[in-house]
Each structure stands twice: as structure tokens, then as C-alpha cells.
């Protein structure tokens, strides 16, 4: 009987578009350890601060144009994933839609973080401060984070983890963003590690 064995070390690519605080936290959590390593940061914005964070952490980066990243035959992107033997893709503040070819190739292996409690406040246009403004305007008493698998639709894949925080009547969208940031820092790397370690 053949036994399937897990790879000793999984390789991660992080896709990010902006500041990259989550990307940095994930790099610090994994790199230098033995379970997984962030091999590359893929970014669509040449001015994104995540590129500086990656340089400081000695993680290679690739900036690819939007057209390449959203098209159904992203040749350059696929080559980078192959060259780096990428097992998992982590979306950390990544603003572009993932093409179907990639969700099919990495089924169950693309993880996103969303700064609200899905299925509420998800979908097209719901990113960054838009989410926190909508939460405050709706008079929600709770918000939080959702870490989920990525499929063909925005914010609809299987939920792996959620954590909540209170939203008080006097809270501004910026106040909510600060609470969400703390939840992200606390839970995102651990949730990725737990999920990866459960896969064969």
C-alpha cells in the first residue's frame, strides 16, 4: 500500500497590493522556521509599501501589470509560481480578482483575509476603508475578520476562521480599522499554519 507523505516544507507566494502589514507578519511568522516559507511577493503596484517591507526581509518580489494578473492565461505569473515551486497562495490586501485558471490550479490552496464578518460586507468594491465605513453606517455592533479559501467568486469560498470585535456607537471607520488590524496580526499566520498542516 502506498502512503501519501506531506512535503517537509511548503512554499508560499503572497499576493499584495498595498501597505503589506499582513505580508510582513506572515514572513516573520514562517521564514527561518521549518514548516513553510514565503518565497515571493507578487504585487500589481510598483509604489506599494509592501515592496519595501519585502526588501527589508530579503524576500524576492515581482511587480506584474494588472492585465497580466487578471487575464485567463497569465503566463509570466504561472512561470513565477512554477519556478518557485509554490504550494500555497496567500492574498494579503490584494485588490485584483484571481483568474479562474489559477483558482482551478490552486483549488483549496489560495487563502484570503477579509476585514469583516462574511458573508456580510463582502463582494465587489468591499475592500479597505469601504468595508469599515459600511459597517459603521449600518450600525453594526460587531465586526471582525474572515479568513477563507478563494474560489471563482469574490469573498465566497469556504470560511476557515473568523474572529470578532465590538463596534461601539461612537466608533469611526478608522477606529474599526485599528481593531481589525490587531485581529489580523494575531490570527492570520496561525490560521494559515493550521490549515497547511492539516493538508496532505
Q: Which CB atom, from 13 or from 92, has the smaller least distance to ligand GRF?
A: 92
User: Which is nearer to ligand GRF, 4 or 175 (by Cβ)?
Assistant: 175
Residue 28 Cβ vs ligand GRF, minimum distance, rounded to whole Å: 13
Give how far the C-alpha of residue 194 lies from the chain's centroid of Cα atoms, to the nearest Å: 15
Q: Which stretch binds ligand GRF (CB under 6 A): 56-64, 65-73, 111-119, 135-143?
A: 111-119
Question: Quick one: which of 11, 19, 156, 162 contacts ligand GRF (CB under 6 A)?
Answer: 19
Q: Name the residue among 79, 126, 144, 139 with its Cα closest to residue 105.
A: 79
For the purposes of burial, counting CB atoms within 10 Å of the CB of 41, is it exposed (0-12), middle (13-18) or buried (19 or more)? buried
- The stretch near ligand GRF (CB under 6 A) out of 35-43, 61-69, 109-117, 159-167 is 109-117
Taking the complex as a whole, the smallest distance from the CB of residue 82 to ligand GRF amounts, in Å, to 26
User: How many Å is the maximal CA-CA distance in the chain?
Assistant: 62
Nearer to ligand GRF, 9 or 182 (CB): 182
End-to-end CA distance of the chain: 16
Binding-residue total with ligand GRF (CB under 6 A):
16
User: Nearest distance from residue 49's CB to ligand GRF, in Å?
Assistant: 8
Q: What DSSP designation does 170 have?
A: T
Which of these, 122, 63, 65, 128, lies nearest to 93 by C-alpha position? 128
Report the C-alpha gap between 165 and 3 in whole angstroms. Answer: 43
- Is 3 catalytic? The answer is no
User: Which residue is catalytic, options 3, 29, 114, 187?
Assistant: 114
Cβ neighbors of 83 (< 8 A, separation 6 or more) are: none
Q: Verify binding: residue 20, ligand GRF, rule CB under 6 A.
A: yes
Which positions touch ligand GRF (CB under 6 A)? 16, 18-23, 92-93, 113-115, 127-128, 180, 184
Active site residues: 114
Amino acid at each position: 500500500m502506498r502512503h501519501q507523505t506531506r512535503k517537509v516544507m511548503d512554499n508560499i507566494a503572497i499576493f499584495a497590493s498595498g501597505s503589506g502589514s499582513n505580508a510582513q507578519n506572515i514572513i516573520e511568522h514562517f521564514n527561518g522556521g521549518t514548516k513553510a516559507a514565503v518565497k515571493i511577493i507578487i504585487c500589481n503596484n510598483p509604489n506599494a509599501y509592501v515592496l519595501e517591507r519585502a526588501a527589508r526581509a530579503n524576500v524576492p518580489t515581482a511587480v506584474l501589470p494588472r492585465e497580466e494578473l487578471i487575464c485567463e492565461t497569465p503566463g509570466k505569473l504561472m512561470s513565477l509560481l512554477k519556478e518557485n515551486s509554490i504550494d500555497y497562495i496567500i492574498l494579503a490586501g490584494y485588490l485584483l480578482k484571481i483568474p479562474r485558471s489559477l483558482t482551478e490550479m490552486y483549488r483549496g490552496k489560495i487563502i484570503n483575509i477579509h476585514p469583516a464578518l462574511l458573508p456580510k460586507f463582502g463582494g465587489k468594491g468591499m475592500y479597505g476603508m469601504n468595508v469599515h465605513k459600511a459597517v459603521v453606517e449600518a450600525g453594526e455592533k460587531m465586526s471582525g475578520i474572515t479568513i477563507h479559501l478563494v474560489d471563482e467568486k469574490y469573498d465566497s469560498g469556504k470560511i476557515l476562521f473568523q474572529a470578532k470585535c465590538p463596534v461601539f456607537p461612537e466608533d469611526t471607520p478608522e477606529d474599526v480599522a485599528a481593531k481589525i488590524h490587531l485581529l489580523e496580526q494575531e490570527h492570520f499566520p496561525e490560521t494559515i499554519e493550521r490549515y497547511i498542516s492539516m493538508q496532505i
